[in-house]
Amino acid sequence: MTDNIETRHEPNYLEYRGKHGGILGWLTTTDHKRIGLLYFYSMMTFFLAGVVMGLLMKYELISPGEQIMGPQTYNGLFTLHGLTMIFLFVIPGVAAVFGNFFLPILIGAKDVSFPRLNLMSWYLYIIGAIVVLISQFMGDGPPDTGWTFYAPYSLKTNTNVVAAVTGAFILGFSSILTGLNFIVTMHRLRAPGMGWLRMPLFGWALYGTGWIQLLATPVVGITFLMVIAERVLGIGFFDPAIGGDPILYQHLFWIYSHPAVYIMILPAMGAITEIIPTFARKTIFGYTAIVISSMAIAFVGYFVWGHHMFTSGMSSTSRWVFSLLTFLVAIPSAIKVFNWTATLYKGSINIQTPFLWSIAFIFVFMIGGFSGLVVGSLATDIHVHDTAFVVAHFHYIVFGGTGFAFFGALHYWYPKMFARVYNFKIANIGLLIFFIGFNLLYFPMFYLGMLGMPRRYYDYLPMFHSANTLSTIGSWIMAAGLLVIIINLARARRGKGKEVDDPWDGKTLEWQIASPPPVENFEQIPVVEHGPYEY
Amino acid sequence: METVTHTHTADAHRDDTASKIGMWLFIFTEILLFGGLFIVYSVYRYMNPVAFHLAHEELSITMGFINTIILLVSSATVAISISAMQKNDRKMTMLMLAATLILAAVFLVNKYFEWGGKFEHGLYPGSDLMKSLSNGDMLFFSLYFFMTGLHGVHIIIGMVLLAITLAKVRSGRVNGGSYALLENSGLYWHLVDLIWIFLFPLFYLIH
């Protein structure tokens, strides 16, 4: 794009050969872009494994009675599906892949503040993943507690809970160190002239996420340590038979795991906020409002954990306080949706694949958000608690939110990462199939939940048959769409795509450098003179 | 893929402020880690007030008090070692770091005798005696072993950090112009001290 690139070829991050070449060069890299890709490839592997588990469970539910697995296998499967998808895919998700790859570039830095710590976070992630996997094959069989490890069952089951919990503990460490790294990077390495309010909004989203990772993760860490101590040493922390309090476990677990939902969704929202102005050809509407709403979500998100426990036994005062706070979180989330749509107003919209992903994101995210109000209200929650309704709500938010944003971001930044474009037409068809399948898969679950079908059972009454069959068919359509998307991207990666520098004409800093980015991102640290979205 | 050998090395990047912010953030996570335990302690104390009161009388206030003094003095010595480094007094820095390490070791020895005494009476997590205790007593002693044990682990981590720092001061890699590592180890050591300042009254003093 500039002359000096043609005359003097700076090696890009893919070609660069440091002390080691080949695979060793990747495994010892401290380049944030390479670490981003390490996360990307490992995460996609776990994600696809999680998808296969989901497909198997949906197949089991195609009609009443036992199809392909018995109750114990099903219990093990939904536990592993939850562990894999939550701890190995959506929690690190957008932040670890695109945050690592793009945060330093977006703020005009050469790398994160602690590059070696960054690599260590990836290793901790892999070690944690291996320990979780070991729990499946060693000891007395795969854990069957669900990813929540609720006491006292998690203390009494004979399955291999200790290994799974240890793995989750290690993964938490990885998450904390990534968050810490990003926060320090944003404090110290913003390019000259880039005040806090000139930082791209993806950065702000990661900033809020970083604080949640730092302040919430240790609480679940210590809780998991207590579960381990209780199982190994027989200390009565949570088992009521020896004086413990299982409700206290739920509190401690959700003090982390509710904010963890915001660890998943905030970076996703941030990625969508980057995509929309680029394709509306217009500056973002309400920059400051989005900044404030990101931080408000991070902050208020701490105080709503009790809404997971409306039926567990709490005083009625705490119930309505938690319900009220839950409704308050809906406000900053809605502010973001208004800002995205207002950005489109009178824009010269360039309808491209990443933009379509963003629109699909907003659609499913709103369904997820509104159904969240149903489970956030005290009265309706009693009715739908622990039913398929909650599963539908959760997947609309976490898969529909974070998953859609992940693929949106992937399609948006793919040309920057690899300097190739994929086939737009096939990408759009893939999205369409995926979108139809997604809704067919999860929407019937709202209906089933309203009728009272409980979650986490391998079998159900005949009255739930038709909607379940529909949902299973949806899972096949969605998997087909996913296949189209992935094959299309993989083909482009293998050189079938057109070579291109900047297909979208974006205005943030990553589009001002060559594709793929040079090893050190910027030959000279840029001086920033205006906000990030000047169209 | 074409491989290009890249000769010019990355700019050496040093940012002491960043390291210090990083350490502070890490300290926040440590505080929340123990924060979870403080919540658990408070809940169970509220549920078993009498048992917790009677059980705490089994602990030796003298031992706890000595250990508190030891840690407070060690916090002072580590602070002095930083001041000495700022004045480029390498010898004093090393002396004070060594003193901190010795105090930390004395703390652990003390703890060893304290725990050992309980073990001798058959009081340890998972023991038959522990299982025969009432719920409140068992929770008190379980929390006692768990929290002071976790704190002990932090003492050991702190000692490792301080020992690395001492070695680097000796070799000159940590010096008057570059001592972020010393400051960070010091910060961590103060955290270890601070947590004990909360553990001591919770287990030994509160009536």
What pLDDT does A499 receive?
73
pLDDT at A8: 53
Contacts of B17 in chain A (CB under 8 A): 188
Domains assigned to chain A: 3-512 (1.20.210.10)
Interchain proximity A188–B18, CB inside 8 Å: yes
In this prediction, residues A203-215 reach a mean pLDDT of 96
- Cβ distance B28 to A244 less than 8 Å, yes or no, reads no
Interchain pair B10, A110: CB under 8 A? yes
A519 touches chain B (CB under 8 A): yes
Mean pLDDT for the stretch of residues A451-464:
95
- CA dist B39 and B198 (Å) reads 13
Q: How confident is the model at residue A275 (pLDDT cuts 50, 70, 90)?
A: very high
Rounded to the nearest angstrom, the minimum Cα separation between B140 and chain A is 10
pLDDT in tens, A104-119: 999 999 999 999 999 9
Mean pLDDT of all residues in A378-386: 94
The rounded percent of chain A whose pLDDT value lies above 70 is 98
Q: Which of B132, B142, B153, B154 to mutate to test the interface with A (most CBs of A within 10 A)?
A: B142
Put simply, the answer to whether B125 touches A17 (Cβ < 8 Å) is no
- Tell me how far the alpha carbon of residue A99 is from its chain's centroid: 12
pLDDT score of A2: 43
CA–CA separation, A324 vs A321, rounded Å?
5
Residue B9 has pLDDT above 80, yes or no: no
d(CA A359, CA A317): 39
Share of chain A above pLDDT 90, in %: 86
Question: Does a cis peptide bond (omega within 30 degrees of 0) precede residue A532?
Answer: no
Q: Which domains does chain B have, with CATH numbers?
A: 18-205 (1.20.120.80)
Confidence at residue B180, expressed as pLDDT on a 0 to 100 scale: 94
Q: Please say whether the dihedral angle defined by the alpha carbons of residues A197, A203, A204 and A208, taken in this order, is positive or negative.
A: negative
CA closest to B141 among chain A residues: A235
pLDDT digits (tens, 9 = 90+) for B37-54: 999 999 999 999 999 999
Does the model's ipTM exceed the 0.95 cut?
A: no
Spatial contact of A91 and A263, defined as CB atoms under 8 Å apart: yes
Average pLDDT score over residue span A94-101: 96
pLDDT exceeds cutoff 70 at B1: no
> Residue B124: is its pLDDT beyond 70?
yes
* The pLDDT value given to residue A4: 44
Element (H, E) at A420: strand A420-421
* Structural contact between residues B160 and B101, judged by C-beta atoms closer than 8 angstroms: no
- Chain B residues at the A interface, defined by Cβ less than 8 Å, are 1-6, 10-11, 13, 15, 17-18, 21-22, 25-26, 28-30, 32-37, 39-40, 43-44, 47-48, 125-126, 130-131, 134-136, 138-139, 142, 145-146, 150
* Contact check, Cβ <8 Å, A188/B44: no
Contact status, residue A165 vs residue A501, Cβ threshold 8 Å:
no
pLDDT 10s digits, A132-182: 988 888 877 899 999 999 989 999 888 899 999 999 999 999 999 999 999
A215 CB neighbours in chain B (<8 A) are: 28-29, 32
- pLDDT tens digits for B133-178? 888 999 999 999 999 999 999 999 999 999 999 999 999 999 988 9
Any B CB within 8 A of A9 CB: yes
pLDDT for the residue numbered B12: 56
Average pLDDT along chain A: 93
Q: Quick one: average pLDDT of A379-407?
A: 95
Q: How far apart are CA B130 and CA B124, in angstroms?
A: 6
pLDDT of residue A497: 66
* pLDDT, mean over chain B: 91
Rounded to an integer, what distance in angstroms lies between the CA atom of residue B190 and that of residue B195? 9
Give residues with Cβ within 8 angstroms of B27, minimum separation 6. B187, B188, B191
A:B CB pairs within 8 Å: 120
